[in-house]
Amino acid sequence: MQSETNRITVCICTFKRPQMLSNLLSKLQYQVTENLFTYSAVVVDNDTNQSARETVNTWQDKSAIQIDYYFESEQNIALARNKAVENATGNFIAFIDDDELPTGSWLLNLYKTLMKHSVDAVLGPVKPHYPEMTPDWLIKSKLCERPEHKTGTILHWGQTRTGNVILNKRLFENKNLWFDPAFGKTGGEDTIFFKKHHENGKTFVWCNEAVVYETVPPERCTKIFHIRKNLRIGCGVGENLRKQEAEFCPTDRKKNNRGLRNRIIILLSQLFLLCKSFIWIILTVIPLPLVVFCGKAYYVRFLAKLSYNFGVISGFFGFVVIRYRS
């Protein structure tokens, strides 16, 4: 028997990807549940032209599951995620990106791992789905691949994101710990979310069987795309470093020496990561011309890493040189 309390709301934030969204909603229709839970979907359209509305309307007429549509007028991925959470009816919330496609047992594997380990969130692998015309250099570069772990591995907040995750809705009881709109245009709002909860003692683990596939369209098969992407990610990391002290130290200073200790830890971590990025840039700029002869796959991967470290530095000093997609 299905328990009425075990309901999962699958949250999808979408922006100008109606066809990809339609493909995702198709894959969500018949997730295996083994009668352990029920599930529904919430779609939040973050496009001012509401490009996803027609797609959702079409699926609502024929869907095997409930699909609700909401519109977030301000282009900000954090606000879109928060609107999805506000309208989630389940006691568990799953996030999947609009360019991802789940396997049939995706939700089931996330749910079982969450129950088995009694944790607050479970993340799974996002594997690239390459079309036939994908250039060889991109596949060899592994720029679209992400780290994987053994099922049950406890994750550090720095290993988290919201593409392929299930969360206990209790994580959203305190609105101050929701997704931060300050990072909604640069990215990194999901990592900040997990960081805050990690510092409050929450636990996250990995499920390697809960697989989703990320579509790699032609526009992502270019050198400039991966350079820009890594630059944006680096900017988000740098901004996070810059905001750490202001975010966590003021309240701690009232607690005897704890505030000073935390401030020193934050300053040391800032210094370490900044020095790491500076050194990486210095040590790689000089041999950069020679890397060209190592092949395009290695060269583009090299440039992407260089862009990331440049982004960390620029973001830390307040120069956000690239914004989230628009």
Of the candidate ranges 203-207, 226-230, 253-257, the one whose mean pLDDT is the lowest: 253-257
- φ, ψ (nearest 5 deg) of residue 101: -130, 120
Task: Quick: pLDDT tens for 274-305.
Answer: 888 888 888 877 777 788 788 999 999 999 99
Contacts of 155 (CB under 8 A, 6+ apart): 123, 149, 204, 205, 206
d(CA 247, CA 65): 40
pLDDT of amino acid 45:
98
pLDDT at 322 over 60: no
3-state secondary structure of 120: coil
3-state secondary structure of 232: helix
Could you tell me if 2 and 33 are in contact, meaning their C-beta atoms sit under 8 angstroms apart? yes
Could you tell me if 98 and 21 are in contact, meaning their C-beta atoms sit under 8 angstroms apart? yes
Could you tell me if 301 and 284 are in contact, meaning their C-beta atoms sit under 8 angstroms apart? no
The residues spanned by each domain of the chain are 7-219, 223-316
d(CA 82, CA 79): 5
Task: Quick: pLDDT tens for 42-76.
Answer: 999 999 999 999 999 999 999 999 999 999 999 99
Q: Determine the Cα angle at 85 with ends 80 and 88, to 5°.
A: 125
Joined together, the tokens standing for residue 293 give: 């002869």
Outline where DSSP puts E strands in the chain.
Answer: 7-14, 38-45, 67-71, 92-95, 100-102, 121-123, 126-129, 165-168, 204-206, 212-215
Continuous segment of H or E residues that includes residue 218: none
Which CATH architecture best describes the domain 7-219? Alpha-Beta Complex (3.90)
Sign of CA dihedral 96, 102, 107, 112: negative
Q: How far lies 285's CA from each of 137, 233, 303, 306, in Å?
A: 22, 20, 10, 8
Comparing 149 with 324, the larger pLDDT belongs to 149
Report the range out of 200-209, 236-245, 309-318 with the highest average pLDDT. Answer: 200-209
How many Cβ atoms from other residues are within 10 Å of residue 176's Cβ?
A: 6
Could you tell me if 71 and 50 are in contact, meaning their C-beta atoms sit under 8 angstroms apart? yes
d(CA 127, CA 135): 17
